[in-house]
Amino acid sequence: MTRSMIDIWYEIVKYASVLFLLAGVIITAAYFIRLYSKTNSSDKYEFVSKNQAKYFLYSSFAWIAALAIYANILLQPLLETSGGFEVTVILIVTLIVGFGMGYAAYIYDSLYYSSVVEKRLMDIRFKPRISQSGQKMRLLSEEEEDLHLTDEMIKDEEDLKFEYDVWLDESTGEKYFEKYNIHFHALICDNCEFRTLTSSGEEIVEHPTHEKEGLLLAHYKCANCGYSREVETRIPSLVSDAALV
Ligand SMILES: [Zn+2]
């Protein structure tokens, strides 16, 4: 390689690695800005379950790209004394190492990172609530909370649409409802055993009538291996719904 070609190459490499480094920082900053701009727990919960793993993966990719490109600078003495063939080999090896690290980040993200996401979700959901009178509120159990939920809310829970939490200040009776969208919450895949199985939609196969129950089919698809499965949920008949009121 000629001197001027090498100089141009290192200029490109330098700026590209800085650019990728910055991209990683911007992705991470954007995540936290978006997260902390959400004021209520249910919005935070939905945002984290939908986005945290994704943002983490993209910023990892950006930083790995920055590192792999920067490796070219470290290999400078080698590149300068080599011919075209060696330079090609070195670049291919750098690319392979970069992709390898990217794949490792992907595996980490799918396999392990979900537990980090899960922990953040639990922190958001079960963070102690303080009532207006300054008392610590108590989270009601599933059984207790049904007494406070409307029929519509109970139906949402049964249909796996939303999850509700009820917080109670026992001294004043102040109640606080929280609604969570559990749709984006990944399940463990039966096939690859990564926690990458998410809901890809649902359909009512049989509408409930006054005489019989309906059937809801929820579709789950694994983001890692593509495996999909269906979960059937009975929808209470309209008669039994009316009888409950
Ligand atoms: Zn899978």
Give the C-alpha separation, 185 to 118, whole Å: 9
Q: Using the mean position of ligand 1's atoms as its centre, give its distance from the Cα of residue 196 in Å.
A: 6
**What residues pack around ion ligand 1 (CB closer than 5 A)?**
189, 191-192, 222, 224-225, 227
Looking at the chain, which runs of residues are DSSP E strands? 138-139, 162-168, 175-181, 197-206, 214-222, 228-235
Contact 156, 182 (CB under 8 A): no
Give the C-alpha separation, 50 to 31, whole Å: 11
Chain segment 228-243, per-residue pLDDT in tens: 988 777 766 765 444 4
Least confident of 37-46, 94-103, 206-215: 206-215
Evaluate if residue 188 carries a pLDDT over 50.
yes
Q: Using the mean position of ligand 1's atoms as its centre, give its distance from the Cα of residue 225 in Å.
A: 4
Q: Using the mean position of ligand 1's atoms as its centre, give its distance from the Cα of residue 104 in Å.
A: 17
pLDDT for 185 equals 64
Of 189, 216, 219, the C-alpha closest to 201 is 219
Average pLDDT, the chain: 82
Give the C-alpha separation, 79 to 63, whole Å: 23
Residue at 223: amino acid letter: A
Tokens of 243: 């009888």
Chain segment 125-145, per-residue pLDDT in tens: 778 888 888 888 888 877 788
